Structure 1
Amino acid sequence: MRKFSLGSAIMYTLISLYAAICLLPMLLVLMISITDEDAILRNGYSFFPDNFSLYAYKLIFTGGSQVMQSYGISIFVTVVGTLLAVTVTAMAGYTLANKHVKFRNWMALYFFITMIFSAGIVPWYLMNRMLGLTDNILALIIPSLLFSPFNLFLVRNFMNGVPDSLRESATIDGANDITIAFRIYLPLCTPVLATIALFYGLDYWNNWWNAIMLIDSKSLYPLQFMLLQLQSEISMLNEMTMLAGSSDVTLPAESVKMATAIVTIGPIVFLYPYLQKYFVKGLVIGSVKG
């Protein structure tokens, strides 16, 4: 049995208070999303809504098919894109961590330069058009597939901590680099791979820029872009109603914003607890080694 002391009681109390403070904004967002728009305009934001209403969620899921289809598009893009991005980053990190690869430091410098300088939007757009990455599902995956240099160096630094004797022993036994990477290095690097998987997953899930620039078909809209359009349409209709001098109809602009936040953060909130045990270890060790 662990001895319970006054210091432990104070520590647990402070942690509980901090957790409650972190949860309060999310609770407020949830309460606003289920509050009638007239009550929000009349009383402002409140943890205790006067008029309970699910109209914002009904408006988001009107018809059902478009939102659910966009949900499916976002989930597919996030899962496939994250798996591919993690694989590419892991292979590049393994190459830069392999001391037998010539000019690996020069290659690392080449990748580092991309963290500082960017060609801009126009070359990025023209390149995607030349590659045929417009108005198809690949346009939501490939442009974001190129690994982040930060994630690359995180993986490389973590792999530098793997003893070279493991690679040498596997080489003596006849293993090639593919076998060494997938059978030895990647299983040992689970913490850092889970960390960058969370980073890539967040980027793909929250990405609406690719849809704006490269997607024309409504059937390919990801969830973030579709909900962004919905909010813009509601704001425009409210402005038109005000200009017309009509106050009979009030569209749920504020409640829809909060309902959108609740709808979009769901998958990430459920994913993080499974990766949390790897996250801190992979981030800390990968950032200080090498």
Structure 2
Amino acid sequence: MVKQSRGDRIFDIINLLLLGSVLIIVLYPLVFVAVASISDPAAVVNGEVWLIPKDITFAGYEKVFSNKEILRGYMNTIIYTVVGTIVNIIMTILAAYPLSRKDLRGRNLITAMFVFTMFFSGGLIPTYLIVKQLGMVNTMWALIIPNAVAIWNIIIMRTFFQQSIPIEVQESAQIDGCNNIKILLKIVLPLSLPVLAVMTLFYSVTHWNSFFNALIYLTEREKYPLQLILREILIQSNMQDMIQTSEESLAKSVMEAESIKYAVVIIANLPVLMLYPFLQRYFVKGMVIGAIKG
């Protein structure tokens, strides 16, 4: 073991203190929401709940799971996320693989045109008019097709193909009679599971948390994703369907509304929280890959 100097020990201590502070700042809100969702709403409103649940109750979860609109929004979000992620992965692969090949003429120009769209876009109104002319307004495809690919993810996947898969392997397969499709399916993709996991994580989290496109393009509540329902609950306090205010006092209605808000936040974020631990190492690797633009 190399003996650390006094300066190195001080540096490590400062780093641990800073990282510990960041961990507390990031983790505490999540812990508080989880604790508040199963605590007495009155104790939460009065500021009596910090880290330990008080007067445990699951009334908020009961009201959430008994509300058909929330369950329908949850199912819609799952459908949008699964279908959208599949489309995203396919489109990203079809764009990244050709750009990774040195024998593609004009690939630098094409890449530059792609990157240009990261800084400049047509704007919301022209995009809406195009979506409307294509007949996708108030359909699932309005949430998927306009965001079918992300340029940043194309760059990440293209860089992975260039840096991690030797061109000699592809040339050997080509000599054996494989065309570009077979090289992609039988050589490149089996060796690209880490970056595919990263792309799946990126795209699925984006779809799961997205609500703005649904707010713009969807008009029927039956097609709303969960995040749009959650937005109404958190911002507009649209609780009439879940709380019988005519039978309860206004104060109790406010208490129940608080418990429902925390319960919905936990339910909405639970799938993502369960997904991250399994893909964390791929996530870190993807960020490192994305740092290399050559």
TM range (shorter): 0.7 to 0.9
- In 1, the alpha carbon distance for the partners of 2:192 and 2:273 equals 24
- In 1, the alpha carbon distance for the partners of 2:253 and 2:264 equals 21
- In 2, the alpha carbon distance for the partners of 1:254 and 1:114 equals 42
2:260 is the alignment partner of 1:262 = no
Q: Deviations over 1:14-49 (max 9, x none)?
A: 699789845443221111112233222223542234
The 3 A distance-change label for structure 1 pair 50 and 279 is: closer
Q: 2:153 aligns with which of 151, 154, 170?
A: 151
- In 1, the alpha carbon distance for the partners of 2:171 and 2:250 equals 78
The count of corresponding residues between Structure 1 and Structure 2 is 275
Q: Does structure 1 conserve the Cα–Cα contact (< 8 Å) formed by 2:92 and 2:153? A: yes
Q: 2:80 aligns with which of 64, 77, 82?
A: 77
- Aligned to 1:47, the other structure's residue is in SS state coil
Question: What residue number does 1:132 align with?
Answer: 135
Q: Does structure 2 conserve the Cα–Cα contact (< 8 Å) formed by 1:193 and 1:282? A: no
2:24 is the alignment partner of 1:25 = no
- In 1, the alpha carbon distance for the partners of 2:54 and 2:254 equals 17
2:276 is the alignment partner of 1:287 = no
Q: 1:168 aligns with which of 160, 167, 171?
A: 171
- In 1, the alpha carbon distance for the partners of 2:176 and 2:209 equals 45
Once superposed, what is the RMSD of the aligned Cα atoms?
2.9
Aligned-pair CA distance for 1:247? 4.8
Q: 1:61 aligns with which of 61, 65, 84?
A: 65
Q: Does structure 1 conserve the Cα–Cα contact (< 8 Å) formed by 2:42 and 2:255? A: no
- In 1, the alpha carbon distance for the partners of 2:251 and 2:278 equals 48
Runs of 4+ off more than 6 Å? 14-20
- After superposition, residues 72-151 of structure 1 pair within 5 angstroms as 72-145=75-148, 147-151=149-153
Q: Which letter does structure 2 place at the counterpart of 1:187?
A: P
Question: What residue number does 2:222 align with?
Answer: 219
Q: Percent identity?
A: 36
Q: Does structure 2 conserve the Cα–Cα contact (< 8 Å) formed by 1:39 and 1:49? A: no
- After superposition, residues 192-207 of structure 1 pair within 5 angstroms as 192-207=195-210
The 3 A distance-change label for structure 1 pair 137 and 113 is: same
Q: Does structure 2 conserve the Cα–Cα contact (< 8 Å) formed by 1:37 and 1:251? A: yes
Aligned-pair CA distance for 1:222? 0.8
Question: What residue number does 1:182 align with?
Answer: 185
Q: Deviations over 1:158-197 (max 9, x none)?
A: 1112211112111111111111111111121221221121
- In 2, the alpha carbon distance for the partners of 1:23 and 1:248 equals 30
Q: Does structure 2 conserve the Cα–Cα contact (< 8 Å) formed by 1:95 and 1:101? A: yes
Q: Which letter does structure 1 place at the counterpart of 2:143?
A: L
Unaligned runs of 5+ in 2: 2-8
Q: Deviations over 1:190-220 (max 9, x none)?
A: 2122112111111100111121111112211
Q: Deviations over 1:100-144 (max 9, x none)?
A: 111000000000001111221101111111111111222222222
Aligned-pair CA distance for 1:50? 3.7
Q: Does structure 2 conserve the Cα–Cα contact (< 8 Å) formed by 1:86 and 1:196? A: yes
Aligned-pair CA distance for 1:59? 3.0
The 3 A distance-change label for structure 1 pair 140 and 180 is: same
